[in-house]
């Protein structure tokens, strides 16, 4: 089975962390957020630990923890930190590892490097989290094109939100990307409701892969 998977999204706030928590919980894996920008309130790692019920040793420490809730390149500049690609080598573990980017694919880490550049080096399969709401067709198709232009393996699209049958169909038909499933908006978001929704919404064999 695939041991490492990257969770990206069409934008910030699409639900990557919630989806990653559901996935890490179901795969009984590890979670890693390489760059956390914004330290007020719960961090993404803390959300995942809570929602996935992961013990602390399964949530790997972030390579960079930046104070301002901004694009990482700017947040780093404000903190006087230079993000170096060399610090973002993914750990090799015997169990599945779910890695979450920040924002969308073109988000900069510094003035030269974006997340997509790191993903192109990693060559790990990527799950693209996409909203189901209006505007997602454009964002999702552009993101798929950007991945394909760099030969980054796309495991598929995880839709997040309430069902929009034609929107989802249109994205799948134009992109040719696999639709992994859909995580609905959960009015009550707990470890239990998330796990149940992930089981109902996704076929995990297709996400986990067969190698």
Ligand X SMILES: Nc1ncnc2c1ncn2[C@@H]1O[C@H](COP(=O)(O)OP(=O)(O)OP(=O)(O)O)[C@@H](O)[C@H]1O
| Site membership for ligand X, residue 189 (CB under 6 A) | yes
Residue 78 region by backbone torsions, left for phi larger than 0, else alpha for psi between -120 and 50, else beta: alpha
71 is an interface residue for ligand DNN by CB under 6 A: yes
**16 touches Mg ion (CB under 5 A):** yes
All residues at 6 or more sequence positions from 10 whose CB lies less than 8 Å from its CB, including other chains:
104, 128, 129, 130, 131, 136, 139, 140, 143
Catalytic annotation on 33?
Answer: yes
In the shown chain, the binding pattern of residues 111 to 150 toward ligand X, with x for contact by CB under 6 A and - for none, equals ----------------------------------------
206 binding ligand DNN? (CB under 6 A): no
* Residue 156 annotated as part of some ligand binding site: no
Residues in the chain: 211
Q: What φ, ψ does residue 19 adopt, rounded to 5°?
A: -65, -45
Treating both helix axes as pointing N-terminal to C-terminal, what angle do 191-201 and 16-27 enclose, rounded to 10 degrees?
80
| Residue 183, contacted partner among ligand DNN, Mg ion, ligand X, none, CB below 5-8 A by kind | ligand X
**Residue 123 to residue 67: CA distance in whole angstroms:** 29
Residue 129 or 144 having the CB closest to ligand X: 129
Asked if residue 116 binds ligand DNN (CB under 6 A), the reply is no
Question: Which range in 10-18, 133-141, 164-172, 202-210 contacts ligand X by CB under 6 A?
Answer: 10-18
Among the listed residues 33, 73, 114, 182, the single catalytic one is 33
How far from 105 is each of 6, 125, 139, 158, CA to CA, in Å? 11, 14, 11, 15
> Contact positions toward Mg ion, by CB under 5 A?
16-17, 44
């Amino acid at each position: 089975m695939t041991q490492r998977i990257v969770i990206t999204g069409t934008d910030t706030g699409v639900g990557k962390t919630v989806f990653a928590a559901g996935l890490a919980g179901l795969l009984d894996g590890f979670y890693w957020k390489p760059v956390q920008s914004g330290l007020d309130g719960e961090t993404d790692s803390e959300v995942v630990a809570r929602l996935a019920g992961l013990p602390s040793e399964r949530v790997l420490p972030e390579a960079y923890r930046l104070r301002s809730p901004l694009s990482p390149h700017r947040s780093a500049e404000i903190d006087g930190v230079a993000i170096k690609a060399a610090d973002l080598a993914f750990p090799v573990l015997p169990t599945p590892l779910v890695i979450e980017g920040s924002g969308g694919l073109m988000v900069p880490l510094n003035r030269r490097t974006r997340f997509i550049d790191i993903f192109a080096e990693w060559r790990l399969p990527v799950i693209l989290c996409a909203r189901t709401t209006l505007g997602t067709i454009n964002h999702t198709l552009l993101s798929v094109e950007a991945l394909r232009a760099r030969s980054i393996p796309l495991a598929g699209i995880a839709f997040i939100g309430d069902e929009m049958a034609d929107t989802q169909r249109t994205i799948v038909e134009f992109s040719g990307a696999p639709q992994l499933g859909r995580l609905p908006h959960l009015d009550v978001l707990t470890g239990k409701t998330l796990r149940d929704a992930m089981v109902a919404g996704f076929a995990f064999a297709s996400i986990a892969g067969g190698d």
